[in-house]
Amino acid sequence: MAMSFVRLSKPLFPSPGSVKSLRFKVSPNGRYLMTTEGRPFYYLADTAWTLFKRLNHEEADVYFENRVARGFTAIQAYCLRGLKVANLYGDYPLLDRDPTKPNEAFFRNMDYIVNRANELGLVMGIVTCVGEHVRKRGYDEQIFTESNAFAFGKFLGSRYKENAVIWYLGGDRSPMDDFPVWTAMARGLKEGSEGRQLVSYHGHGPAPGFQGYSSSFWLHNMDWLDFNTIQSSWQWGTLCYEFVTHDYLMQPPKPTIDMEFRYENHVPSWNSKQPRINAHQIREAGYWNMLAGAAGLGYGAQDIWQFFEAGNPRLSYLDYSLFMQEQTATHNWRDAINYEGSYCMGLLRRLLEMRPWHQLVPDQGLIRFGQGILEDHIQSARAADGSFALAYTPFGHPFTVQMDRITGAKVKAHWYDPRTGRWKFIGEYPNTGTQVFVPPYTGDQMDWALVLDDASGNLPVADPE
C-alpha cells in the first residue's frame, strides 16, 4: 500500500515561541498534564529515538520546524541508546563506558538540540537509556548499578533543569528485577532537577509471556512516577482504548499517555500479510486513546524514529544488534515527516483544543445503539459539565446517541472530518430521547467524529485555513 503525504501550504498551528521556561505538574484530578501556571498541556509527541545521534544541527532545525507547523508539542528521544555508536560529530556518550564520566562533547551537542527544540516550541521527552544498559542481555551494553544510576540521573536532571524536559526511564523494557536501579535513577533525576521535572517509565508493549504494556502494571504507586505511559504496540487494529481504560480506572488516578502506538509505515508484524500501518490506523488509535481518557499521544513513523536516508552511510551503524527492523523503512525522513497520519494527529489536537478537552471523561453510555465490535468500536466521551460530547466511528457506520448526556434544551450537532479537519453541520435537536446519526460516507477508512454541543454554549467551529 502506497503511503499518503500531506505537505502544508501554511502551518496548521502558529509558532508558539519558546517553551523553555515551561514547567509541568499533574492536574488536581490526576487526569492530565498542566503547566505550573495552571494551563492544560496537550501532549502530542513525535517519536525521534535516534535524534541525538543521527541529525546535525541544520537537519534538526528542518525537522523541528516541520513538527511545530503540524501541531506537535513534544519530541521523544533517547539519551543513551548504544555505547558503540558516536553521534554525527564523532562523539561517544560516555568515557570508558562509565555513567559517572559523561563525554562533555556529546552532551554539548545534546544541549544544542534540547535548547533548539525548546526555542522553537517543543518540549523534550527524553528517555534516559535503553533497557539493555540496565539489564544484561548479551549485547555487552549493561553498565548501570544503583550508585552510578543515581549519579547519572542527577547529572541529567541538573544539566537540563532550566529546560522544558519530561523524563522517561525504562528504555522499552519491563523493570523486572531492576527496580532498585531504575528507582535510583529516578531519584537522581528528581534531585538534580530540584523537583522541577516530571518523571515516568517507558516499558515494553504487549507480548506473549510478558505481563504489562503500561508503567501502571509495575510502578503505579511509586512516589516518583508522576504519570503512566503505555506502549500499545504497532499491530494492526490493536484495541488501544482498552489499555487506556485500564489505566484510567486505577486508583489513585494518574494521567496516562500512549507514548508508542502504531508507527506509520510500519510492518504490522514480521510474518503478517497485512499492509503497513497507514493514516487511518493512526487516526483510529489517536481518537480511541484520547476519547478513552488519555492525557496525550506519542505518534511515530518507521522512517522518522531512525531518520532513514537511503544510501547514507550513517545507517550502517546500528545502535545495537536488536534493532535490525531498521531495514523496513522505505522513505527518507525528509519525506516521511509529511506523512498523512502526522497531519491528522494535528487535526485531532485542533479539534480537541477548540473545546476544553481536559474536561472530557469517557462515556460509552452516550452510544445507545450501533456499537460495533473489534476495529468497528465507537469510542465516546463528554465534558464533565455536559457542555459537549464527542464520538468516533472508524468506518462511518450509523449509530444512535442518548441525547440527555449533554446539558441544554437543544443540542447542536456537527460531523468533523478527521482527514481534512472540516466541519459539516447536521442540525439542532431537542435534548430528549435518542437520535440516530448517519455519517456522510461509510466504508473502509471512512472514519468520522461526531461533535455534540449544548447549543447555548456557542462553542467554536472553524475549518483549517
283-292 pLDDT per residue, tens: 999 999 999 9
pLDDT of residue 314: 60
Mean pLDDT confidence for 370-395:
97
Distance CA 257, CA 298 (A): 8
pLDDT of residue 321: 40
Over residues 257-270, mean pLDDT: 89
Instruction: Tell me what pLDDT residue 325 has.
Output: 43
Backbone φ, ψ for residue 51 (5° rounding) = -55, -45
Element housing 390 (H / E): strand 388-393
- Domain extent listing, the chain: 24-353, 359-457
pLDDT for res 233: 87
Q: Please give the torsion angle defined by the CA atoms of residues 443, 7, 347 and 50, in that order, rounded to the nearest 10 degrees.
A: 110
pLDDT digits (tens, 9 = 90+) for 419-434: 999 999 999 999 999 9
Among the listed ranges 21-30, 196-205, 305-314, 449-458, which one has the minimum average pLDDT value? Answer: 305-314
* Closest to 375 (Cα-Cα) out of 237, 245, 255: 237
Q: For residue 293, how many other CB atoms are within 10 A of its CB? A: 22
Maximal C-alpha separation, the chain: 72
Q: Give mean pLDDT, residues 126-152.
A: 93
Q: How far apart are CA 286 and CA 435, in angstroms?
A: 26
Phi, psi of 450 (to 5 degrees): -90, 130
Grid cell listed for 443: 466504508
- Is residue 183 over pLDDT 90? yes
Alpha helices in 32-167 (DSSP H): 51-54, 57-69, 104-120, 146-159
User: What is the Rg, in whole angstroms, of the alpha carbon atoms belonging to the chain?
Assistant: 22
Q: Alpha-carbon distance 186 to 144, whole Å? A: 13
Size of the chain in residues: 465
The pLDDT of residue 270 is: 62
What sign for the dihedral angle of Cα 55, 199, 74, 231?
Answer: positive
Residue 72 and residue 44 in contact, taking contact as beta carbons nearer than 8 Å = yes
Cβ contacts of residue 325 below 8 Å, gap of 6+? 267
Total-model pTM? 0.96
In this predicted structure, the answer to whether residue 354 has a pLDDT above a threshold of 80 is: yes
What integer is the mean pLDDT of 105-119?
98
Pick the closest to residue 441 from 415, 420, 461 (CA basis): 415
Q: Quick one: angle between helices 57-69 and 104-120, nearest 10?
A: 30
Section 3-20 average pLDDT:
96
CA distances from 98 to 77, 128, 151 (A): 21, 15, 11
User: Domain 24-353 class?
Assistant: alpha beta
Q: How large is the average pLDDT for residues 355-375?
A: 97
SS3 315: helix
pLDDT at 322: 41
Whether the CB-CB separation of 388 and 459 falls below 8 Å is answered with yes
| d(C-alpha 65, C-alpha 14), whole Å | 11
End-to-end CA distance of the chain: 30
CATH code, residues 359-457: 2.60.40.1180
In the block, residue with C-alpha cell 508522576: 226
Evaluate whether 24-353 and 359-457 have a shared fold: no
Q: Of 251, 282, 244, 250, nearest to 360 (Cα)?
A: 244
Cα distance between residue 106 and residue 92, in whole Å: 6
Percent of the chain with pLDDT over 70: 95
Report the sign of the C-alpha dihedral through residues 36, 40, 228, 52, in that order: negative
